[in-house]
Amino acid sequence: MTIRVLIADDQALLRATFRVLIDSCDDMEVVAEAADGQQAITLAGLHRPDVVLMDIRMPGTDGLAATAAICDQSELQDTRVLILTTFQTDEHVAQALHLGASGFLGKSTTAEAFLDGIRTVAAGDALLSPVATRSLISRFLALPMTGSVAAAPERFSSLTPREREVLAVVAEGKSNDEIADALFLSPLTVRTHVQRAKTKTGARDRAQLVAFAYQSGLMQPPR
């Protein structure tokens, strides 16, 4: 299946570079380009892409507002937002994860990592860059959030002990294969536990599942 991608960035040269990379792959294609957040919202509703590559700092409606708007639309529940950022520990990235973004990717990454990142988010399989994820969690995800993004502890009351154990390792930014090795499980079993945890907590993907876990106090950031 071809991964359909929407690029949202105010720099035309970067959009062109991303398009060339994406269109060079047989398993993905660019369906539209947006120069600001409002265009991204409109084009996402029109094309319903699998992945939106979202720059945070754009004129007018920025990437955060656009992420919130896209993730709030029920008809776009299968669309994943991948945040593009210069600094992987930018506090805005943490806020984007709370708003429903599925992961983040540094603009200085390699072409191979960039394309693999799109595939990873499209599959809903794992948070990107475990090292940066742990750093981000330790600095920002445990901070109090207000409004609808806040996660109450009751959200996790129905999780089984094994699901909580798996979630604890997911929160370290590890892949299913790494979790399987750590807990002596099969990758398929890990995937099943993660999927059940997402269903029970109402998380749209792994990124939001981890954000909910830290926000609720179920998980504590590393010291």
What digits encode the pLDDT tens for the residues 119-155?
988 887 655 555 555 555 555 555 555 444 445 667 7
Q: State the Cα–Cα distance between residues 201 and 36, nearest whole angstrom.
A: 32
Residue 99 has pLDDT above 60, yes or no: yes
Q: What is the CATH number of domain 3-140?
A: 3.40.50.2300
Contact between 119 and 3 (Cβ < 8 Å): yes
When mean pLDDT is compared across 14-18, 88-92, 112-116, the lowest value belongs to 88-92
pLDDT for 53 equals 96
Contact between 187 and 177 (Cβ < 8 Å): yes
Q: State the Cα–Cα distance between residues 192 and 195, nearest whole angstrom.
A: 5
Q: State the Cα–Cα distance between residues 169 and 70, nearest whole angstrom.
A: 28
Instruction: Identify the DSSP state of 2.
Output: P
Residue 39's contacts (CB-CB under 8 Å, 6 or more residues apart) are 8
pLDDT for 30 equals 97
Q: Residue 162, Cβ neighbours under 10 Å: how many?
A: 14
pLDDT for 120 equals 83
Q: Which three-class secondary structure string do you get for 57-70?
A: CCCCCCHHHHHHHH
Domain 3-140 and domain 146-216, same fold? Reply is no
Nearest Cα neighbor of 84 from 73, 62, 98 is 62
DSSP of 7-58, one letter per residue? EE-S-HHHHHHHHHHHHTSTTEEEEEEESSHHHHHHHHHHH--SEEEEES--
Q: Residue 115, Cβ neighbours under 10 Å: how many?
A: 19
Q: Where are the beta strands (DSSP E) in 109-180?
A: none
Confidence of residue 207 (pLDDT cuts 50, 70, 90): confident
The DSSP H or E segment spanning 204 is none
CATH class entry, domain 146-216: mainly alpha
Q: State the Cα–Cα distance between residues 20 and 34, nearest whole angstrom.
A: 16
Residue ranges per structural domain of the chain: 3-140, 146-216
